[in-house]
Amino acid sequence: MRIVIAEDSALLREGLVQILEKFGHQVSAAVDNGPSLLAAVREHRPGIAVVDVRLPPGFRDEGLRAALALRAEFPDLAVLVLSQYLEADYAAELLECGSAGVGYLLKDRVGDVLEFLDAVRRVAGGETVIDPEIVRKLLRSRRGRSRVQELTPRETEVLELMAEGRSNSAIAGTLVVSQAAVAKHIGNIFDKLGLHTRDTDHRRVLAVLAYLRR
């Protein structure tokens, strides 16, 4: 798999290159700023871009902006965004750019090499992967009444796992229930959130977006 990396820390950037290449991936370019990321993706056409949220010169959200611009230009490009901070709004904005092949992980997660590699593989394969810490923070900080709060405790558990990018079989294994039970819970979630079959966007992603918004 061809990968482009954008990370301003030279140490972390080289570490990512070594990890990915050790496990058989091809790092086509490793850059430290948004314009170089745009140029590298246009030149190499990778399967996935691994991007730091904060890049020079402002170290605010330049990496995220570059990733969103790339998704608009190359809708099939998978994007895995890394952040040092819990930025829930960034995760929601990233999800809104498309219904597949996006991920948002805290940089601490890179320390677990196998977990990081699994996230790269899943995002490149078209899945949505959101860091569990982001999900837990949003669950704690949600304010006001919303349709999400009308869910039962079990439905909330299922939606939380959906927000982490888990498949139905993975959710069933985590909750020790049947896949049929998971499918029923998800159907109830869609109904309570008003996500009907006429929606043109992927209902699973729309449900996650409803969960991520406060």
CATH 1.10.10.10 positions along the chain are 142-212
CB atoms within 10 A of CB 193: 21
Average pLDDT rounded to a whole number, residues 46-60: 92
What pLDDT, on a 0 to 100 scale, did the predictor assign at position 137? Answer: 64
Tell whether pTM > 0.85: no
**CATH architecture under which domain 142-212 falls:** Orthogonal Bundle (1.10)
Q: Is the dihedral of CA 17, 56, 41, 101 positive or negative?
A: positive
Using pLDDT thresholds of 50, 70 and 90, give the confidence band for residue 108.
Answer: confident
Where are the CATH 3.40.50.2300 domain residues in the chain?
A: 2-131
Chain mean pLDDT for the chain: 85
Q: Which CATH number fits domain 2-131: 3.40.50.2300, 3.40.50.920, 3.30.110.30, 3.40.710.10?
A: 3.40.50.2300
Q: Greater confidence, 164 or 106?
A: 106
